[in-house]
Structure 1
Amino acid sequence: MAPRALVAYGTKNGSTQEIAEAIGDALRAHGMEAEVRAASEVRGVSPYDVVVLGGALYRGRWHSDAVRFVHRHGAALSKRTVWLFSSGPLDASAGEREILPVRGARRALVRLDAREHVTFGGRLEAGARGRMARMIVQSGRGGDFRDFARIAAWATKIAHAAAAEVQVRRQGHEAG
């Protein structure tokens, strides 16, 4: 039985959703069952062995849907393997150095004893929703700074870790 993963996300303009979909694709390519859903639409996490939760960064905050997801499902998440990501820097910094999680993501990391948090570059282009987003694009500071090879490599790391955990769990059941 393949490990089951949920990739949940909070997004405003769709960039984080596209990152979540890329993570889901990479997990499936490595033999996992993966479902990608908006964090606000998830009603429970009990069917999943692994949960990957991502949130867009806006004005130094993790997306509110990701924060609410942690509050709603915290007890169940604490019994699962959780990985976290953020998306948002509108420059190359996310690929050049580790970016520490913002407060909401940092709290989730600690509360859920998550395996890891990583920050990926974001995307903000013409047609973005929100006054601040439009101002950023109009000032010429928008663009697409996502590194899909890095995203796929991170998802591969998750898939390998999940496969190893399932194997250990199965060996424990067989021995018991």
Structure 2
Amino acid sequence: MTGTVLVTYGTRNGSTAHIAEAIADALRENGLTVETMRAASVPFTTPYDAVVVGGALYAGRWHKDARRFIRRHRPDLARLPVWFFSSGPLDTSASDGDIPPVRAVRRAMDDLHARGHATFGGCLDDDADGFLARRILRSGKGGDFRDFEAVAAWASGIAQQLKGRGER
């Protein structure tokens, strides 16, 4: 593949954006051209040859911007290689084993014939916004559970698929 990969994401407090940037960095290290953009800011997907879509998980739901991105760009995404990632568990469960996608993500994956999905640990810092975030922090369950080595390995696998097949 010689085109450009879009890595797009929905996030509230920025943790998922950092994961998206780490994915983009790993794809670049594997020789691909990559653009990273918030899902709500993507005007169209026609210039891209592959797309990675990520969303933060909140109470078992994918971030609304990621869901809206999928709905808005469904016709183009159906013609492209697509991967999904989720971020959010505030524990080590994502590093301990594979966590399946939430129902809405699974439906989108089936509909778009997505090539894969990964769930990565999340991060909830003391400066996080929102009632639920503050409540979680008060209960002592915040922290950073992102595994950037696992993120890079997953993204490198995507790069190998794209480079190995040379397909759109």
| TM-score interval for Structure 1 and Structure 2 normalised by the shorter chain | over 0.9
Gaps of 5+ in 1: 170-176
Counterparts of residues 41-120 of structure 1 (less than 5 Å): 41-120=41-120
With the length of structure 1 as denominator, give the TM-score of the two structures: 0.93
CA distance in 1, matches of 2:97, 2:30: 27
SS class of match (2:56): strand
Q: Aligned letter for 1:22?
A: A
SS of match in other structure, 1:46: coil
Q: Sequence identity, in percent?
A: 55
Q: Which residue of 2 aligns with 1:23?
A: 23
1:141 Cα shift? 0.3
Q: Cα offset for 1:2? A: 2.5
RMSD of aligned alpha carbons = 1.1
The structure with the larger Rg is 1
Distance 2:78 2:50 in 1: 11
Q: Deviations over 1:60-87 (max 9, x none)?
A: 1001111101100001000000000000
User: Structure 2, unaligned stretches of length 5 or more?
Assistant: none
Q: TM-score by structure 2 length?
A: 0.97
Q: Give the paired residue count.
A: 168
- 1:5 is aligned to 5
Amino acid at match of 1:79: R
Instruction: Using the TM superposition, give the Cα deviation of residue 165 of structure 1 relative to its aligned residue in structure 2, in angstroms.
Output: 2.2
Q: Which amino acid aligns with 1:44?
A: F
Q: Which runs of 4+ in 1 moved over 2 A?
A: none
